[in-house]
Each structure stands twice: as structure tokens, then as C-alpha cells.
Amino acid sequence: MSLSDLLAMLPILILAFGATAILMAGAWYREPLPLLAGGIVTALLGALSAGLVTPPVPEIAGLFSAGGYARFYTILWSLLAAAGLMTGSRYIIEKRIGAGEYVSLVLYAAAGMALLSSATHLVGLFIALETFTLAFYILIASNRNCALAAEAGLKYLLLGAVATGFMAFGIALIYAASGSLVLPDAVMRLKAETGELQAWGLLGWGMILIAVGFKISLAPFHLWTPDVYQGAPAPVTGLLATGSKGAVVAALVGLLAMSGPVWNDLTDLVWLLAALTMLAGAFGALGQSNLKRLLAYSSVTHMGTLLVGVLCQTSEGFAATTFYVVVYVVTSLGAFAVIASLADGRGEPMTFDQWRGLGYRHPVRCGVLVLLLLSLAGLPATAGFMAKFAVFHAALQSGYIGLLMIGILASVISFAFYLRVTMLLFQPDEKASSWHQGSVFEHTVLAVCSSAVLVLGLFPGLLFGLIRQILP
Amino acid sequence: MLDSYLPILTLIIIAVGFSFGAAILSRLVGEKKPSTVKLAPYECGMPPVGSARERFSIKFYIIAMLFIVFDIEVVFMYPWAVMFKSLGLFGFIEMGVFILILLVGYAYVWKKGALEWE
Amino acid sequence: MTPEMLSLSNSPGIFIGVMLVKILVVFMVVMLSVAYATWWERKIIGHMQTRLGPMRTGWHGLLQPFADGIKLFFKEEIIPTQATIVPFLLAPAMILVPALITVAVIPFGPDLHIGNFLIPQQITDLNVGVLYILAFAGLGIYGIVLAGWASNSKYSLLGGVRASAQMISYELAAGLTIIAVFMLSETLSLREIVALQQEPLWGICSFVPNWYVFTQPLAFGLFIITGLAEINRTPFDMPEAESELVSGFCTEYSSMKYALFFLAEYANMIVISAITATLFLGGWSAPLNWGLFNMIPGFVWLLAKVYFLMFCFMWLRATFPRVRYDQLMRMGWKVLLPLALANVVVTGLVVVVLQ
């Protein structure tokens, strides 16, 4: 590893060293606000350095890419970390969650996600995945006075461990079959191979697919999602729902765009996964009476839709998927930020009974929530619509008509439950109680998210142009 | 390979044979007069209270976790130590960075009170 | 015809024969040393406390170990009804076996030249000898934890848990300590480490051998302390503290199984002494490069060093009171560990500067 390698890794180094420094500082000074501010500054510095410093080498130590695609996601995840810290600022002070630990774990997670999105090597992929998953294991259970959070942490830990096992075995099998861990290389050699080894290699890819399925909660590996989302503190859920899933999808897109079609033999399987996931999410959400669980099922549906874009394996599909990831991250983070901003001594508003009539008590934030929910549903003029449209368009061009139909069906069903929440918010209810007014930080995040949803909905070309340039 | 490990295998077989042989033989020749009280767990002559399968201090778990973390880092240092003279200054600096990271974690654990036994 | 190293490929029959002879001799020496270490310890502590120790069985109690052994052998074996049977029965062996097989890599003399063959005076020379020792030393902990847990007695559980926490804490420091030795020796094979210690001290003084105790005095001291703690000897015998935990993890054991624990403790003491002697005190080599000394066979020197170290351990037991558990853990984590780490760094710095 040379100096130019280190320079190319600058954003990651800033995030990681900043996180370590804040962790250490937090052990000596318990004052949360300076630590949070330091964390936000570190995250913004990471984003800035990824945007401004041109990496001198295209690849870092043969493990991670330093190209435009990697830098794009590094910026996105750094900003996400900053947003996560801002959303969590009031929350962790009130719940007495260790500020040093929270800030540093969020930054470590962001570093892991950024590495994951830029992995070009199976070992790099594994390390990066573990980096942010480990951070999330702790973050989810960080509210130590809450039994639900402990349950959620344990569930995520156990399933995460299983997924890690699948990942490691899959990587081992691919290495055994192709003799390489470098991604384009491994795929090429696997394709050239026609004997028994190819079967082992495919089994390896299948296992990686299962691991990915656990991480981004594809049906039938999605059952942990609602419980974990419900138990975890809302700011953490916001990160978990967006970053941890988006980074895995980003890694998939990056790998496939680099190495060409791998999944010719697995296409049917992925097709089935995508269809199942969209339907499982949509139907699962229908019966929910808890907003966090509903958002969990909604994220399952969205992961299914994203998988459609990945499945296309065309540049159109990859661009659409990338756009979708950005939009989903912004929207979903905003929705959880609303929940976090309302949380007070009683906890977070979760059940529909608690939400009924809240639109009259907190009109601005409920209005934002409605906007975000409609974007998640895919209402025209919001970013969600453009994202869904792009993915379905790509699917149409690649000839996945059946999947397209299922996707549209799932979207229609989703409209039902998103509208149900919207109506609930503005039902007159005398008994509706007031929740917390929210802090400046939280309102900033909400403002940024809602305006991003509107801007991307009206002018999607801005982002699409950038994405087309950076796709590997 | 076999040259080096065959003796160890033989020694293991002898040692295991000795341990179990002695224990089994003594059971065969020893006295056998069991009674309920004799077979109860020892508690200073009082009837035992409750089961011993209880929870114990979390300190022990923390120590075990710290041990795993630090021990793995120590094991990383073995190959480095053996190659140390040929690696020269480069190896020293690399390991300096490694030990520095180790020390950061150590300082954190110390400050957080994971090493206290009060 | 130049002699060649005896191996499985050039004459399997002789190799296996020699191997069995070596194993049996070493095994017998260890077992006899263990037996007499018990007698010796009672004698030494007795005399240090102005008592006589065992006097009745044989001349000055010389037959005492056998009397003890026979008595324990014929005692009734008690397996508590609440115990978890399989681990309860396995535990004694799991402690004793690692202790007994660790001696396999200790060299006890120079290569013997018999016929056309060179026969190393060592059961086996592993190129990862030290790792082998550490690995098996770590396995011993399982036996103690299982013994404590499977007995289903509160004293045993506490003893087992305490023992495991203590042993892993000190194993860490021990592992770090000996890294400094490998930085100088550049090998993990004990045979080569001994060979290196026969060279002149610091390359100049040809009369004194280059024992690592001279170059690494701090590591030597740390290793002795951590070694004591790892084998649960006074002043670190918290796990079996007879006055508070009624022997800790072996409370529920009786008859030969109790004897196995006892054997394991002394076997461990011999093993730690042998490792210390090999790593720091030149193993089987003579303390001075002097004709008369060099004529004495290597195993005599090794045994002399081992017995000397064991005498020191017993002396410590007679002198020091038991430390408190929090003091013990604090010393392991907050004193020994940083010292060992600092020793590694300083050694590295000196070696780099000298180069």
C-alpha cells in the first residue's frame, strides 16, 4: 500500500480515524453535543474529500475501486451518516445513549458502506460488509432500557451471523471453482469453465445471493425486518433501512456492471426472488397497525423493485437502480426522521392509534411525512415516481413483462396502505396528544429530505446525467 | 510432516490412555457405598440450596471477549516477530501502527472501566 | 559416510522404535518428577515452617507419593447426582492430557550420533513448537471450566469461572511476553532457540552463553509471573483457594479423578519450568562454556534448571500470601500486559537501531 493508495482512501480514512478519535474523546468527555458536532463535521469532511480530492490511482490495494461510482456512493453514505447523526442528536441525549459510541459507530458504519459500494474483490466485499454490520449490531441494541431493542439487536445479530456464514462459504466456493477472488476475473474464469467446477461456482453465487437476501431482506429472508425496525431506535432504523440496504445493492450493481452478466444461470432464481419480495412486502404491509413495521414491509417491497433493476443487467437498468437507491435513501430516511423528531419521554409514536389525528397537532411534520409516504408509493411529481418509472422502463426494455406486471400490482397495493396512513393522520381526533416539537437538527434533515424528493421528482435529469457518467 | 506429528499423536494416545485407564481402574477396585447425602453437591455440610446453574457476573464475559480480541492480535504478532529482523525498519513501523491501534482499544477499555473488579 | 537425520522415510522401523523409547522415557521422567514434586513440596514447605514434613513412610517419607497414590486409587469414587455426567468424567483428562503432551517439543540434549543416524534428543521438533505449547496450554482451560460447571456445585462453578478468567488474562500477557524472544531468535522451533542460546553472549563474551535471560530480563520475569498464574500456583491460586472455595473446581471430585487434577497441577509446573528453562535459560546447554561443564550430559542440565525453577515456585508458595482476585486481575491487565507490550516495542527499537 503506497501513499497514493492512502490518498485514494482519504474519505474512508477521515471517517474511520474521526470515528476513533470521537470514540476516545467520548470515553473522557461525556458532553454529547460537541461529540455529535464533531461527528457531523467528520462526516461532511468525508463527503467533501470524496468529492474534491481526485484519487491518484483507480484501485486501492486491489480490493476497492476509487472510481467515480465509488466516490459517488462515498459522498452519499457520508451525507447519510451526517443526517443520521442529526436525526439522532436529541434522541440519544434523551435516552442517555453514549454519545461517543453512537457517533463513532455511525461513522464506522458509513465507512463500511462506502467501502462496500466500492468493493472490487470478494475479500474487500466481505470486510466492508462486516464493518458496517458489526456497527449496526451494537447500534440497534444501543437503547439499553428497552426490551424491544434488545430483542431486535439479538435477532439482527443471529441472522447477520447466519448471513455472514453463507457469505464466507459462497466466497470460498467461488474461489475453489475459479481460482480468483478478484471480481471480473472470477466471473470470467467461471464462465470459461464448463465442468463440475462451474456447478460449485454457481452454488457459491447462490450462497452469496442468500447472504445478500438476508442483508437487504428479500423474501423469504425478510422476516427479521419488521421486528428489528420496530425495536431499534428510530434514527438507527433510518440508517439501517437506507444505508445498509443501499450499500449492498450498490455493491451488486457495481460488481455486475464491471463483470458483465454473471447470473445467466441464476436469472430464474433472481426473478422469483424479486417477484416474491415485492408481493410479500406489499401484502405484509396491508395488515400492519404500526408505522415502523409498515415502513419495514414497505422497504421489503422496494428491495424487490430494486432487484428488478439489478436483474435487467443493462446499463439502463443499472442507472435506474442507482437512481432508485438514492431516492429510496432520501425518502426512507426522512420518514424515520419524522418518527425520531416526534419521540419524547413516552417513546416513539408507533401504533396507528398514536398517529390518528396527529396531522392537526404537528401539521408541518405530518405534511412532510405524507409527502414522503406518497413518494414511497410512487405518486407522480415525486422522486419515487421517477425512480419506479425508470426501473419499470428498464424491465420493459429487457423483456421482463411478467415481473413488470407484478411490480405494478405491488405498487397499486402499496398505494392502499400509504393512503391509509395519510388519511389516518388527518382524521379528526380530539384525544390526539402532542409529541415533541423536534430540534433544529431534525427539522434541517426533514427540510433537506422533502426538498430533495420534490427536486428529484421534478428534475430527475440532474441526477440521471451524473449517474450515467459514473457507472463503471 | 508425519515425522513431526506421529510422535505427538502417539504421546496423545498414551496420555489419554493413562488418564482414562487410571480413572476407570480406580472405579473398578474402589469401594462403592453411595447414599443420597453423599451424592449431593457439597455445601459445607448444609443441604444444598437451589441449583448452581445460575447467572454470574458479567465481568467474566467481558474479560472473555477482551481476551479473544487481544489474543487474536497477539497471534498476528507471532509471524511478524519471527520475520522481524529481515523486515527491518519497515516491519517495525508497520507493527508500530498495529500496536498503536491495539493501544487505542486498550485505552478505551481501561477508561470505560471494563478492567475494574470492584 | 556422513550421518543423516533419522526419519520415517529412511528407516521407518528404527524411527518408530526410537520414538517409542523417547516417549516412554520422557513420560516416566515426568511422572516420577510429578510424584516426587509432591513429596518435595511438602518437605520444603515443612522445613521453611520449621516442621519436618512427611517422615513416616520410608526414609524421610520417601515413599509418601506412592502411599498417597495407592490410597487415592482405592478410594470410593463419587459422582454427584446433579452433575452433568459426560463433561464431569472428561474434565480431569482434559486438564492432564495437555499438560503431559506439551513436553513433546522440549529438547533435552544435542543430537545423538548412533550408527549412521543422527537422533535428536527431543520427542519431536516442530517448526511451530512454541505455538504448539501455547495451543495446548490454552486447551487446559476447557478442562477447568468444564470441571467447575459440570459439578453443579456453587464452589466448583465459582472456582472454574475464576480460574478461566485468570488463565486467559495471564495467557495473553504470557503470549505477548515471549514475542520478544522470537524477535531475537527468528524461529519458533525450540531446538533452534536452544542452539542460538549456545552462542557467545552478545557475540563477544565466549565464556558465557547467549541465554535470553541476559538479553530479555524483563520478559523472563514477566514469563515467570504469568506462568505461575497460568498454572494456578500460590500466590495466584485463587481458583482452588481451599479456605474460601474448598478447592474450587475440584470440590466434587474424589478418588483417582482428584488425583488426576493433582497430577495435572504438578505436571503443569514441570512444563512451565521446562519452557522457561528452554526459552530463557539455554535449555539443556551448560551455564558456562567450560570443558568440565560441557561433559555433563544435556538432560542433567535441563533437569537441574527445571528443578531449580520448581524449587523457586515452592519457595514462593511458602513466602507469599494469596493475592486478592481484583488485585490479580488488575495486575494481569493493567501492569503485565502494558509491560509486555512495552518490552516488545523496546526490543524492536533496539534491534532496528543496532541493525
The 10s digit of each residue's pLDDT in A213-228 is 999 999 889 999 999 9
Give the number of domains in chain B: 2
Domain assignment present for C271 = yes
What's chain A's average pLDDT? 89
CB contact under 8 A, C255 and B30: yes
Please report how the helices C129-150 and C255-280 are oriented relative to each other, as an axis angle in degrees rounded to 10: 150
Task: In whole angstroms, give the CA distance from residue C351 to residue B88.
Answer: 9
Task: In whole angstroms, give the CA distance from residue A155 to residue A147.
Answer: 12
DSSP class of residue C200 equals E
Domain assignment present for A353 = yes
Please report how the helices A68-94 and A245-259 are oriented relative to each other, as an axis angle in degrees rounded to 10: 170
User: Could you tell me if B71 and B113 lie in one domain?
Assistant: yes
Domain assignment present for B42 = no
Query: In this predicted complex, what is the ipTM?
Result: 0.85
**Which cell numbers hold the place of C44?**
520444603
Residue C200 has what pLDDT?
A: 75
Instruction: Give A328-376 pLDDT, tens digit per residue.
Output: 999 999 999 999 999 888 888 888 888 888 888 889 999 999 999 999 9
Task: In whole angstroms, give the CA distance from residue A202 to residue A204.
Answer: 5
The answer to whether C88 and B27 have CB atoms below 8 angstroms apart is no
Alpha helices in A179-266 (DSSP H): 183-192, 196-215, 224-231, 234-239, 245-259
Instruction: Give A399-449 pLDDT, tens digit per residue.
Output: 889 999 999 999 999 999 999 999 988 888 777 788 888 889 999 999 999
Neighbours of chain A (3+ CB pairs under 8 A): B
Longest Cα–Cα distance of chain C, Å, equals: 67
Give the number of domains in chain C: 1
CB contact under 8 A, B117 and C355: no
Range of B92's domain?
A: 55-118
Domain assignment present for C68 = no
In chain C, DSSP finds a helix count (H) and a strand count (E) of 14, 5
Is the Cα torsion angle A399, A402, A408, A411 positive or negative in sign? negative
The answer to whether C277 and C305 have CB atoms below 8 angstroms apart is yes
3-state class (DSSP) for residue C201:
strand
Q: Give strand pairing partners of C112.
A: C119
Neighbours of chain B (3+ CB pairs under 8 A): A, C
User: Could you tell me if B25 and B60 lie in one domain?
Assistant: no
B-facing residues of C in 94-133 (CB < 8 A) are 96-97, 100-101, 104, 123-127, 130-132
Query: Smallest Cα–Cα separation from A76: which of A15, A19, A20, A7?
Result: A15
User: Could you tell me if B18 and B59 lie in one domain?
Assistant: no
- A246 has a pLDDT exceeding 70: yes
Task: In whole angstroms, give the CA distance from residue A67 to residue A131.
Answer: 21
Q: Which of A253-262, A295-304, A383-392, A461-470 has the lowest mean pLDDT?
A: A253-262
Residues of chain B with pLDDT under 70: 1, 43-45, 118
Tell me the pTM.
0.86
Q: Which helix (H) or strand (E) holds A91?
A: helix A68-94
Residue showing cell 516416566:
C28
In chain B, DSSP finds a helix count (H) and a strand count (E) of 3, 0
pLDDT band at residue A17 under the 50/70/90 scheme: very high
- Which of B94, B106, B108, B112 would you mutate first to test chain A, the one with the most A CBs within 10 A? B108
User: Could you tell me if B115 and B80 lie in one domain?
Assistant: yes
CB contact under 8 A, C169 and B106: no
| Cα-Cα end-to-end distance for chain B | 50
Chains A and B touching, counted as 3 or more CB pairs less than 8 Å apart: yes
Domain assignment present for C71 = no
Domain assignment present for C67 = no
Domain assignment present for C179 = yes
- Which of C352, C353, C354, C355 would you mutate first to test chain B, the one with the most B CBs within 10 A? C352
Residues of B in contact with C104 (CB under 8 A): 7-8, 11
Nearest residue of chain B to residue C175 (CA atoms): B74
The residue length of chain A stands at: 472
Domain assignment present for C63 = no
CB contact under 8 A, C256 and B31: no
Give the number of domains in chain A: 1
- Kindly report each contact of residues C201-208 with a partner whose C-beta sits within 8 Å and lies 24 or more positions away, as own/partner: C206/C289, C207/C288, C207/C289, C207/C290, C208/C288, C208/C289
Residues of C in contact with B105 (CB under 8 A): none
- Which of C70, C136, C183 would you mutate first to test chain B, the one with the most B CBs within 10 A? C183
The residue length of chain C stands at: 355
Nearest residue of chain B to residue A98 (CA atoms): B112
Q: Given C125, C255, C341, which is nearest B99 (Cβ)?
A: C341
Chains C and A touching, counted as 3 or more CB pairs less than 8 Å apart: no
Neighbours of chain C (3+ CB pairs under 8 A): B
Domain assignment present for C59 = no
DSSP string, C7-25: -TTT-HHHHHHHHHHHHHH
Instruction: Report, as an integer, the average pLDDT of C312-329.
Output: 86
Residue A63's identity, in one-letter code, is L
Longest Cα–Cα distance of chain A, Å, equals: 71
Range of A458's domain?
A: 266-472
CB contact under 8 A, C186 and B18: no
pLDDT band at residue C246 under the 50/70/90 scheme: low
Domain assignment present for A85 = no
DSSP string, A23-48: HHHHHH---HHHHHHHHHHHHHHHHH
pLDDT band at residue C355 under the 50/70/90 scheme: confident
Domain assignment present for C258 = yes
Domain assignment present for A67 = no
How many Cβ atoms sit within 10 Å of the Cβ of residue C89?
Answer: 18
B-facing residues of C in 244-283 (CB < 8 A) are 246, 251-252, 255-257, 259-260
Query: Smallest Cα–Cα separation from C172: which of C222, C207, C211, C232?
Result: C222
Domain assignment present for B35 = no
The residue length of chain B stands at: 118
- Which of A24, A104, A137 would you mutate first to test chain B, the one with the most B CBs within 10 A? A24
CA distances from A39 to A15, A116, A123, A124, A235 (A): 9, 21, 28, 25, 15
Query: Smallest Cα–Cα separation from A19: which of A3, A2, A1, A36?
Result: A36
